[in-house]
Amino acid sequence: MTTATTPVTTDERLDLLTAQVQLIADELRREREQRERWSELVQDMAPVTSEAFAAVSRELEDLSDDVTVEDLARFGRTMARALPTMEALLAQLQSLSDLSSEVVPLASPAMATLTTTLQDLEEKGYFAFARSGAGIVDRVVTSFSEEDVEALGDNVVLILNTVKEMTQPEVMTLLQRTAVTVQEVEDEHAEPPSLLALLKQMRDPQTRRGLGRALTMLRSVGEDKPAEPNSPHEGR
């Protein structure tokens, strides 16, 4: 069974040829427009490129006395060999960045706790006490000369032994009792006792005991050399 073909007319052939010619003309026009744009770009960039080359030439002329082509080649080879090291450094920086991003959320509660603690210390007066203590230390330091400090170093053992003896419970109790008694006498504004009253007080065992202790202290003060620490107090 044969299929009848429709003959192509001359007008149809002319229309097809016209369409193909139009496509070719459009393509040629686009290529011409592209060449024109490149030509305009080259013309616009020519002054900039010339100035850039001139600047590079001037810089190279300035560096020609200090840097040679061999130096540049050697620098390029050094940079090429250092690429693995630079890559490792960048990897470490990346690891540090990741670590910081993980630590920051953990540090926020710790910083809040620290801030709260510092605020509590400030309200309780710790910082004010420290500032006052610094002023006291400054006054102490400025009040002593180098000779005073050396003398203090020579006698520091004696000073510490004296402080140790002074802080014994018996001595502290005696000092407290004496201070309270003196304060009570000052508050009472008592008249000076008569000789008879003093003789009556001498009959009191407590008075005689106190007088004996006072005489013992006076005798110790009058000795030529300092008294040695009492052996019962040692090691306390």
pLDDT at residue 235, as a whole number: 43
φ and ψ of 228, to 5 deg = -75, 150
Q: Which two tokens stand for residue 72?
A: 């540049």
3-state secondary structure of 21: helix
Percent of the chain at pLDDT > 90 equals 0
Q: What is the mean pLDDT of the chain?
A: 77
Distance CA 165, CA 235 (A): 11
What stretch of H or E contains 165?
helix 156-166
Q: How far is CA 124 from the centre of its chain?
A: 24
Q: In this model, does residue 226 exceed pLDDT 50?
A: yes
pLDDT at residue 234, as a whole number: 45
pLDDT tens string 46-84: 777 778 777 777 777 776 667 677 877 888 888 888 888
Domains of the chain, residue spans: 13-66, 157-233
Distance CA 3, CA 12 (A): 21
pTM: 0.30
Ranges 66-70, 124-128, 155-159: which has the least confidence: 66-70
